[in-house]
Amino acid sequence: MLKRTTALAVILLLSACGKTTTGPAAPEGAPAGEPDAAAAGRTAGYNPDRNAYFGDLHIHTRDSFDAYIFNVRATVDDAYRFAQGQTIRHPSGFDMTIAGGPLDFYTVTDHSEYLGILPAMNTPGTKLSELPRAKDMFSTDPDKILAAFQGVGASVREGVPIEEMYDLNTINTVWAAHVAAAEKYNQPGKFTTFSAYEYTSVTSDTGDGGFGGGNLHRNVFFKGTAPTQVFSTLDSTNPEDLWDWMDKQRANGLESIAIPHNSNVSDGQMFRLETYNGEPLDAAYAEQRMRNEPLVEVTQVKGTSETHPDLSPNDEWANFEIYDELLGSYNVSATHGSYVREAYRNGLKLQETEGFDPFHFGLSAASDSHVAGGAYSEADYWSKVGIVDGTPVARGSVPFPGTTSWDDQPDNQITRNAKNWFSRWSASGLTGVWAEENTREAIFDAFKRKETFATTRPRMRVRFFGGFGYADGIMDAADLAHRAYEGGVPMGGDLVGTGDAPSFIVWAQRDPNGGTLQRVQIVKVTSDGEDVIDVACDNGTPDPSTRRCTDNGASVDMASCTPVNSGASELKTLWKDPDFDPSRRVTYYVRVLENPSCRWSTWEAMRNGTPPRPDVPQTIQERAYTSPIWYIPGN
Amino acid sequence: MTDKTETASRLRSLLGEPLVHFVLAALAVFVAWNMVSQSRASASRTIRVSHADLERLASLYAAESGALPSKEDMLAMVNDYVRDEALAREARQLGLDQNDTIVTRRLAQKMTFMISDLADDPDPDEQTLRDWYTAHADRFTEPQAITFTHVYFSEDVRGSKAESDASAALTRLNAGADWQHVGDPFMLQRTYGDLPVREIARLFGPDFAKALAAAPASDAWFGPVRSALGLHLVRVSANMPSRVIPFDEARDAVLADWKDETRRNENEAAVQKIVGRYKVEIEGADAK
């Protein structure tokens, strides 16, 4: 509070001198990359042409009802300590250290429903621990444990509180502790945190009486001050009611956004073309949704939601880390309405026919780790649900104990869960943002303007701009980023037509501590179709007829998981759409592909001396997706 | 507002420690009291972990995790079991299992005690703090940080010419050419102020960080230096070695660190003290 007052005073003083320092625009004539260190109120890394920052926006600790049952005991403090490079303990007993070094931002998003209630139920002496349900939940009888847990899951899904367990005093006290922890670890210029939680709406009951179903979860992030009580499914399971609540908070000065995730297992509900209650969509719905949900989490441990091979049959890279089983069940999620690219197309359709677009969102990524720390490494993976998938056997990357071949696997609960769920999960992902500095304000503003990109784990960086006046030589200009901002809009922006064809600056840089790049693609979406176009290649230029790079020969030595050929460190191009029609709306986003590398399951098999699991890919191409640039025809 | 914030922050500190630790800390106090007030009957001081116990632990694990426990998992579970059993027995000796009122009252007293304890937490004396500072100097050290400007030569753009282009540019730069118009565009910044070496490694890869860490400050450009991204000409204008923050400057951080760790250690010590009173026998394992 003191700090904010001081910053405000500084701004007031500066405006009194007639020198405002607000606004994202670069100072007139600032030379490329010259740090504007003199400006007051800015942190050391300030860059008017913006830096790339990486973070995970989706982390659970023991205060989530499910995590506690997964034997997670790590606290909010442990989570933030992990993100800053300290080592914490996995519930299965091994140490976890963050791959790739500390992150720039990190957010704990525990389930708000029964937040912190299970730890209290497991603490002798509390009233909650005296409940029969507590005795069952922490008994030694697996059937009782399961029944008690399913009961809680059902309550979260149905939105009907278990009265004796729904202790708002405890929940609010634990929430206050989370807010305080976010304040404690937030260090402007170095490390950013937000007060945040997960709203856990589930639809499509799978009939097991528990938590299972279609995922409508979203994480809610507060820019600054957080309310003392949050909105959960025990208030309403309808996400539109969450938006109403957020609007109300906003009116009271508490700004927030929500980021939905795992649309891939939403059973077609996340981007459904009706409201939650089955009413037709309208402009007010679209406006409210976009005001509250500017971003969608496109990749995480439970799979990638960009697109599905059935939806994008002509995209050779669409079959990537597809995971489609509803929460806690083996039921397969509906495909339509569950993937981002199709939502972009439907958004344009709605825009053209009805005049509004409820899917005008940017992209983010996260791990959804339930053990306080994300596994951002294929070579050092621990998945996400604690003791439930804490070992290679549980994850199905190595044959069941007592067997050495994949042909003679026993059929039991462990192997079934591994096959249907855990073997198909991913070592993903991270959000990249372009922001002037590493502060709450700058990063939150980047979320709002969707200047974000999602990666499946690596810290590769992607710039993407669209404009009408970019000069031919711009890609060689020393101050390229500066000119790109001056002459156009960055990812997340609307590019309003002038009648001319726009050009796009597409620029990708490898993770300096990771793999190299193979190709950069533009994904072009219109109301009636889509196209994937290679625009920059590791070797040569794309073939204009096939719009594909030639094979760069990259592969992996499967005996050691080392890459055979190296790819590019940096790929960039100034691209024009050869089929551009100035009168049609288009959504363009960039996809960057690394050279192939071993999938986590292959690493684990290699270390175990057994063959890799045959029904999952042995190698993958890590990737990044940018938020789109929306071309909108001028009048 | 301040009061509220302080209360919240106190509560947060409390909750930052697992609630169970309150019980444990409370137990430690009661145990000490108990020992003074009465000579302890020599109740069973042996915790026996039988085959049946081991099997139960293993099957519980398998049921919860869907996997058979490894040797490490078993070891961890046995440790937890012994720990819980020791504490539970102490609790029973104190009669904590007999009357909920006792538990409630003791917890309430302990809670009150700990809150006031935090409020009046006497700071450690000067010497304790200074010793702590000396013993953990690495925690109060600012990392080596470098201020540098670099010009980038992309091998993806220039191919094998990148190196000779860079060498030619080096001569021009050292003759006074304007660095802002030399080399290829770089996606991130061309100038960084006081960037810790660890950050340089995150942005450019470890080899580049190592090269810069070893470069003395100078007006002259040098290179090309290879990074994970290509070749660079570099001018290091400041190279601040890592610096141990003087005690007076670091005092607040030292105090916070001392408090954090002391609390964590005290909780653990309380548990260990109780566990340590028991002899542990595990069926089928070598006696130790």
Does residue A234 fall inside a structural domain? yes
Q: Do B70 and A71 touch (CB under 8 A)?
A: no
Q: Do B180 and A51 touch (CB under 8 A)?
A: no
Q: What residues contact A340, with CB distance under 8 A and at least 6 apart?
A: A263, A271, A296, A298, A305, A306, A307, A363
- What letters, b where the CB count within 10 A reaches 16 and e where it falls short, cover A572-584? bbbbebeeeeeeb
Q: Do B65 and A123 touch (CB under 8 A)?
A: no
Q: Round to whole Å and give the CA distance between A402 and A409.
A: 9
Q: What is the mean pLDDT of residues B231-235?
A: 98
Together in a domain, A248 and A354: yes
CB-count exposure of residue B142 (10 Å: 0-12, 13-18, 19+): middle
Q: Which domains does chain B have, with CATH numbers?
A: 2-124+248-282 (no CATH), 144-241 (3.10.50.40)
Together in a domain, A497 and A382: no
User: What residue type is A375 in one-letter code?
Assistant: A
Strand order in the sheet with A195-199: A195-199, A218-222, A256-260
Question: What tokens appear for A286 in the block?
Answer: 């679209």
Which of A389, A423, A445 is at the close of a domain?
A: A389
What confidence score (pLDDT) does residue B88 get? 74
What confidence score (pLDDT) does residue A577 get? 97
Residue scoring higher pLDDT (B39 or A203): A203
The minimal CB distance from A387 to the residues B64, B191, B198 is found for B64
Is the confidence metric ipTM above 0.90 for this complex? no
When pLDDT is cut at 50, 70 and 90, the band that residue B284 belongs to is low
Q: Round to whole Å and give the CA distance between A263 and A274.
A: 15
User: Rounded to an integer, what is the distance from CA A68 to the centroid of its chain?
Assistant: 23
How far is the CA of A125 from the CAs of A132, A135, A330, B118, in angstroms?
A: 14, 13, 39, 22
Q: What is the mean pLDDT of residues B76-82?
A: 82
Together in a domain, A189 and A82: yes
Tell me the chain A residues in contact with residue B202 when contact means C-beta distances shorter than 8 Å: 100-101, 459, 512-513
Residue scoring higher pLDDT (A242 or A472): A242
Does residue A448 fall inside a structural domain? no
Q: What residues contact A532, with CB distance under 8 A and at least 6 apart?
A: A312, A314, A315, A316, A317, A521, A522, A523, A524, A591
Is the torsion defined by CA of A186, A188, A190, A196 positive or negative? positive
Nearest chain A Cα distance for residue B41, angstroms: 25
Backbone angles phi, psi at B55, to 5 degrees: -65, -40
Asked if the bond preceding A617 is cis, omega within 30° of 0, the reply is: no
When pLDDT is cut at 50, 70 and 90, the band that residue A36 belongs to is very low
When pLDDT is cut at 50, 70 and 90, the band that residue B234 belongs to is very high
Question: What tokens appear for B189 in the block?
Answer: 């910044």
The minimal CB distance from A477 to the residues B155, B185, B192 is found for B185
Q: What is the mean pLDDT of residues B16-40?
A: 39
- On the question of pLDDT at B74 being above 90, the answer is no
Any idea which residue has 């270390």 for tokens?
A607
Q: Round to whole Å and give the CA distance between A589 and A627.
A: 6
How far is the CA of A626 from the CAs of A91, A219, A459, A592, B18, in angstroms?
A: 34, 20, 13, 9, 40
Q: What is the mean pLDDT of residues A346-373?
A: 98
Nearest chain A Cα distance for residue B170, angstroms: 16
When pLDDT is cut at 50, 70 and 90, the band that residue B55 belongs to is confident
Q: Do B64 and A142 touch (CB under 8 A)?
A: yes
Question: What tokens appear for A141 in the block?
Answer: 């009888």
What confidence score (pLDDT) does residue B272 get? 67
Q: Round to whole Å and give the CA distance between B119 and B255.
A: 15
Query: pLDDT per residue over B137-182, tens digit each?
Result: 988 999 999 999 999 999 999 999 999 999 999 999 999 999 999 9
Q: Round to whole Å and give the CA distance between A330 and A420.
A: 7
The domain in which residue A284 lies consists of: 51-389
Residue scoring higher pLDDT (A212 or B254): B254
- On the question of pLDDT at A202 being above 90, the answer is yes
Is the torsion defined by CA of B92, B94, B99, B104 positive or negative? negative
The minimal CB distance from A142 to the residues B20, B63, B72 is found for B63
How far is the CA of A313 from the CAs of A310, A457, A530, B57, B250, in angstroms?
A: 6, 25, 10, 49, 61
Tell me the chain B residues in contact with residue A418 when contact means C-beta distances shorter than 8 Å: 66
Of A7-11, A501-505, A531-535, the one with minimum mean pLDDT is: A7-11
How far is the CA of B270 from the CAs of A309, B28, B264, in angstroms?
A: 57, 6, 10
What confidence score (pLDDT) does residue B76 get? 82
Please report the beta strands in A510-618, taking only residues with DSSP state E, as ranges in sequence order.
517-526, 529-537, 556-557, 562-563, 570-576, 586-594, 597-598
Q: Which H, E and C letters describe A120-135, residue by residue?
A: HHCCCCCCHHHCHHHH
Together in a domain, A347 and A484: no
Question: What tokens appear for A52 in the block?
Answer: 């790339």
What confidence score (pLDDT) does residue A613 get? 97
Nearest chain A Cα distance for residue B206, angstroms: 8
Does residue A292 fall inside a structural domain? yes
- Number of residues that make up chain B: 288
- Tell me the Ramachandran region of residue B271: left when phi exceeds 0, alpha when psi lies from -120 to 50, beta otherwise: alpha
Q: Round to whole Å and give the CA distance between A191 and A102.
A: 9
Any idea which residue has 């509004």 for tokens?
A356
What confidence score (pLDDT) does residue B40 get? 38
Neighbours of B105 (CB within 10 A): 12
Q: Round to whole Å and give the CA distance between A38 and A44.
A: 10
Does residue A116 fall inside a structural domain? yes
What confidence score (pLDDT) does residue A404 get? 86
Query: pLDDT per residue over A141-173, tens digit each?
Result: 878 888 888 899 999 999 999 999 999 999 999
Q: What is the mean pLDDT of residues A346-364?
A: 98
- On the question of pLDDT at B118 being above 70, the answer is no
Q: What percent of chain A has pLDDT over 70?
A: 93
The minimal CB distance from B194 to the residues A32, A44, A125 is found for A44
| DSSP 3-state of A285 | helix
**Could you give the angle at which helices B100-119 and B19-37 cross, rounded to 10 degrees?**
100
Q: What is the mean pLDDT of residues B185-207?
A: 95
When pLDDT is cut at 50, 70 and 90, the band that residue B271 belongs to is low
When pLDDT is cut at 50, 70 and 90, the band that residue B59 belongs to is confident
What confidence score (pLDDT) does residue A543 get? 96
- Strand A214-215 versus strand A619-620 pairing type: unpaired
Does residue A444 fall inside a structural domain? no
Q: What residues contact A411, with CB distance under 8 A and at least 6 apart?
A: none
Which of A354, A389, A424 is at the close of a domain?
A: A389
- On the question of pLDDT at B121 being above 80, the answer is no
Q: What is the mean pLDDT of residues B234-241?
A: 97
Q: Round to whole Å and give the CA distance between A623 and A523.
A: 13
What confidence score (pLDDT) does residue A329 get? 85
Does residue A416 fall inside a structural domain? no
Together in a domain, A290 and A372: yes
Together in a domain, A362 and A470: no
Q: Round to whole Å and give the CA distance between A112 and A230.
A: 7
Q: What is the mean pLDDT of chain A?
A: 91
Asked if A5 reaches chain B (Cβ–Cβ under 8 Å), the answer is no
The minimal CB distance from B66 to the residues A414, A475, A512 is found for A414
Which of A389, A419, A435 is at the close of a domain?
A: A389
Q: Round to whole Å and give the CA distance between A389 and A421.
A: 10
- On the question of pLDDT at A436 being above 90, the answer is yes
Q: Do the beta carbons of residue B62 and residue B73 sit within 8 Å?
A: no
When pLDDT is cut at 50, 70 and 90, the band that residue B279 belongs to is confident
Q: What is the mean pLDDT of residues A331-337?
A: 95
Give A629's strand partners. A588
Q: Do A35 and B191 touch (CB under 8 A)?
A: yes
When pLDDT is cut at 50, 70 and 90, the band that residue A381 belongs to is very high
- On the question of pLDDT at A26 being above 50, the answer is no
Q: What is the DSSP string of chain B?
A: -HHHHHHHHHHHHHHHS-HHHHHHHHHHHHHHHHHHHSPPP----EEEE-HHHHHHHHHHHHHHHSS---HHHHHHHHHHHHHHHHHHHHHHHTTTTT-HHHHHHHHHHHHHHHHHHHHT-PPPPHHHHHHHHHHTGGGGEEPPEEEEEEEEE-HHHHTTHHHHHHHHHHHHHHTT--GGGSSB--SS-SEEEEEEHHHHHHHH-HHHHHHHHTPPP-SS-EEEEE-SS-EEEEEEEEEE--EEPPHHHHHHHHHHHHHHHHHHHHHHHHHHHHHHTSEEEETTS---
Q: Do the beta carbons of residue B216 and residue B165 sit within 8 Å?
A: no
Tell me how many residue pairs between chain A and chain B have CB atoms under 8 A apart: 170
The minimal CB distance from B228 to the residues A102, A176, A569 is found for A569
Q: What is the mean pLDDT of residues A545-562?
A: 95
What confidence score (pLDDT) does residue A41 get? 80
Q: What percent of chain B has pLDDT over 90?
A: 43
Does residue A452 fall inside a structural domain? no
What confidence score (pLDDT) does residue B248 get? 93
The minimal CB distance from A414 to the residues B16, B67, B206 is found for B67
Q: What is the mean pLDDT of residues A306-333?
A: 95
Q: Do A140 and B185 touch (CB under 8 A)?
A: no
* Closest residue in chain A to residue B58, using alpha carbons only: A140
The candidate with the shortest Cα–Cα distance to A402, out of A617, A610, A601, A616, is A610
**Could you give the angle at which helices A283-292 and A239-251 cross, rounded to 10 degrees?**
70
Q: Do B65 and A512 touch (CB under 8 A)?
A: no
Together in a domain, A509 and A370: no
The candidate with the shortest Cα–Cα distance to A458, out of A530, A418, A510, A415, is A510
- On the question of pLDDT at B48 being above 90, the answer is no
The minimal CB distance from B183 to the residues A179, A478, A510 is found for A478
* Closest residue in chain B to residue A388, using alpha carbons only: B65
Tell me the chain B residues in contact with residue A537 when contact means C-beta distances shorter than 8 Å: none
When pLDDT is cut at 50, 70 and 90, the band that residue A21 belongs to is very low
| DSSP 3-state of A346 | helix
Window A:131-190, CB contacts with B under 8 Å? 140, 142, 145, 173-174, 176-177, 179-181, 184
- Tell me the Ramachandran region of residue A437: left when phi exceeds 0, alpha when psi lies from -120 to 50, beta otherwise: beta
Together in a domain, A596 and A465: yes
Together in a domain, A483 and A385: no
Nearest chain B Cα distance for residue A385, angstroms: 9
Question: How many domains is chain A built from?
Answer: 2
Does residue A506 fall inside a structural domain? yes
For testing contact with chain B, the best of A78, A193, A569 (most B CBs within 10 A): A569
| DSSP 3-state of A89 | strand
Q: Round to whole Å and give the CA distance between A401 and A610.
A: 12
Of A107-111, A325-329, A464-468, A599-603, the one with minimum mean pLDDT is: A325-329
- On the question of pLDDT at B110 being above 60, the answer is no
Neighbours of A382 (CB within 10 A): 23
